[in-house]
Amino acid sequence: MSNTQVRKVDDVRHFLREERKRRGLTQAQLADLTATSQKWVSDFERGRVDPPMSIVLKVLVLLGVTISLSPAAIAAADTSDEGSEF
């Protein structure tokens, strides 16, 4: 599995959906593992709800995903994060 750069919430949604599918889990199975509902998983994957960070981290851990944070150099005129939600 390659590294994924996250710049928007939608990047996380897409990554988690693809990782869930790659591991052969249904939305209902992931919901059971995370003490949420299948509807919530579906709504999250479709962008209808924004979860607390604690739930996102729980899902990542349960899927065996490692998170590595590193600072990036940002120049004063850097416009590369246009469209970023942060």
Rounded distance, CA 76 to CA 45, Å?
Answer: 34
pLDDT digits (tens, 9 = 90+) for 43-63: 999 999 987 888 888 888 888
Asked whether residue 69 is assigned to any structural domain, the reply reads no
Share of the chain above pLDDT 70, in %: 85
pLDDT, residue 41, reads 93
Per-residue pLDDT, 20: 92
CA–CA distances in Å: residue 6 to residues 3, 31, 35, 60, 76:
10, 23, 25, 13, 21
* Whether the predicted model's global pTM rises above the 0.85 cut: no
Q: What's the domain range around 30?
A: 9-62
> For position 29, which CATH number holds?
1.10.260.40
Residue 74 covered by a domain = no
Neighbouring C-beta atoms of residue 64, cutoff 10 Å: 9
Q: What is the mean pLDDT of residues 3-27?
A: 88
Choice among 2-6, 23-27, 70-74 with the minimum mean pLDDT: 2-6
The structural domain count of the chain equals 1
